[in-house]
Chain A
């Protein structure tokens, strides 16, 4: 019951995108987000759409699969579309019925906003779809590395993230077990109003918390026993190396920046 909450979960593979360095993928997404907000006419959006389709092809994942895994996001997009069509006024009036009207500005706004969100979500989901969580934290640690000098606990943040990733499945299994145990004792999690249901979660959350604290304590001890002493003097098994792939991502980024800058109005 807890398996279907994965949005953009990692799919192992050997495609161009899978093999690219997580750092360049992350940096590219930041640039892409800026480009998406710079785009403001049909041509620039068309360029971005074409580019996004190309990146999806580079991931060798099926577009249908990606779209399906992002279902919760599409509901959100649909909601914003409806909201904009109904609320934003201006320009030519397409339809009028009493106070209710659909106008030109509302429709264009709805299209642009939904395009922006979809493109951004699609491209960012490609990052998580093609990068293993470990590489993701590794990349993040390296990217944030310079901030370590001004006192940001970069190593600790990355370690926290990787331990969280390690324990997600363990805690999921445990939650399932607790739910079953409480159900066997007559607890009911599926009926009653919202407040009642929230109250019913207490017998799940409390044992989960207690056990998580115990786990944390034991884990800290085990880490210490294995010589953990913070980030200083520590080496890493995984070393990230840039390749020609990352060069081509940088090139694509430059070209895209120039093209969008040129065509936007």
Chain B
């Protein structure tokens, strides 16, 4: 196996049951493979089924049709559901509503306690994972004294302590200020690069997606588009037609092209600045 398939969704459909028993299809025959070590971004309009997709990946929801495999384990296998949840950690949007412990230490311990980890081993892992997210100085702090970005980093530490394979961020940066957003995103990128954690970043901010290996665009319960960041952002009109934002650099390049100024394809703001400076020098 050259590329290990960590998550595999095969013909997955899902519907929530309404009050009167009527079903509303939220996901429709999704096929996806996510490989080990990848950094994947998921974009999509509100209600396009991104959170549902995420919950299917760690057995919080089970598919109505099709199969979801996590490291080869079918999420429908009731015996191995805890193994699935250990493998696939999830960080949610609201930092206040996912911290269980009264102190940072207790919160990071929560998942380990659920797994039945030995207390001595727990302390080691808590220390290591808090170091990994740069929060080791806050071991005994109360969560409500932390900033939004710090809270999300604690939530990530709580997951890292469980030694997961995949980290899913379900709009984990949506409620943060720009600084908190950068903290969390940089951390996710570093964990991906240095610890080899596979990251699935569900986000509203296209700027976050430019760093990923792969961008998945969801629309009305289906994968509308699946490609590299360069491929997906090369067609800003199509993205905007889907009601999605485009990174600033891509927007500027596109607007300049309409004015007859052509630039090579760029994704990052720094590249844009560099190209514009070169252009200015050449004139």
A residues with CB within 8 A of B? 133-134, 162-163, 165-166, 169-170, 173, 214-215, 218-219, 221-229, 233-239
Q: In the complex, which residue of chain A has the Cβ closest to the Cβ of B82?
A: A227
A226 contacts B114, C-beta separation under 8 Å: yes
B102 contacts A165, C-beta separation under 8 Å: yes
Q: Give the 7 A-B residue pairs with the shortest CB-CB distance, closest first.
A: A222-B98, A218-B97, A237-B109, A227-B114, A226-B111, A169-B144, A225-B90
The one of A214, A215, A225, A236 that contacts B85, using a Cβ cutoff of 8 Å? A225
Closest approach, in angstroms, between the C-beta of B273 and any C-beta of chain A? Answer: 40
B143 within 8 A of A: yes
Q: Which residues of B contact A170 (CB under 8 A)?
A: 96, 144
User: B138-193: which residues lie under 8 A (CB-CB) from chain A?
Assistant: 142-144, 158-159, 162
Closest approach, in angstroms, between the C-beta of B45 and any C-beta of chain A? Answer: 22
B113 within 8 A of A: yes
Q: In the complex, which residue of chain B has the Cβ closest to the Cβ of A134?
A: B102
Closest approach, in angstroms, between the C-beta of B50 and any C-beta of chain A? Answer: 15
- SS class of chain B's interface: helix, strand, loop or mixed? helix
A233 contacts B116, C-beta separation under 8 Å: yes
Q: Which residues of B contact A224 (CB under 8 A)?
A: 60, 85
A226 contacts B97, C-beta separation under 8 Å: no
B106 contacts A134, C-beta separation under 8 Å: yes
Interface string of B97-115 (1 = CB under 8 A from A): 1111111011001111111
Could you count the A-B residue pairs with CB atoms below 8 Å apart for me: how many are there? Answer: 92
For B, the interface residue count at a CB cutoff of 8 angstroms equals: 39
B residues with CB within 8 A of A? 58, 60, 82, 85-86, 89-90, 92, 94, 96-103, 105-106, 109-119, 122-123, 126, 142-144, 158-159, 162
Q: Which residues of A contact B92 (CB under 8 A)?
A: 218, 221-222, 225
The one of A223, A233, A237 that contacts B119, using a Cβ cutoff of 8 Å? A237
Q: In the complex, which residue of chain B has the Cβ closest to the Cβ of A215?
A: B97
Q: In the complex, which residue of chain B has the Cβ closest to the Cβ of A137?
A: B102
Q: Which residues of B contact A223 (CB under 8 A)?
A: 100, 110
A163 contacts B100, C-beta separation under 8 Å: yes
Q: In the complex, which residue of chain A has the Cβ closest to the Cβ of B86?
A: A227
Q: Which residues of A contact B112 (CB under 8 A)?
A: 235, 237
Q: Which residues of A contact B115 (CB under 8 A)?
A: 227
Closest approach, in angstroms, between the C-beta of A30 and any C-beta of chain B? Answer: 25
Q: In the complex, which residue of chain A has the Cβ closest to the Cβ of B96?
A: A170
Q: In the complex, which residue of chain B has the Cβ closest to the Cβ of A234?
A: B113
A134 contacts B103, C-beta separation under 8 Å: yes
Closest approach, in angstroms, between the C-beta of A20 and any C-beta of chain B? Answer: 20
Q: In the complex, which residue of chain A has the Cβ closest to the Cβ of B100?
A: A223
B100 contacts A225, C-beta separation under 8 Å: no
Q: Which residues of B contact A133 (CB under 8 A)?
A: 102
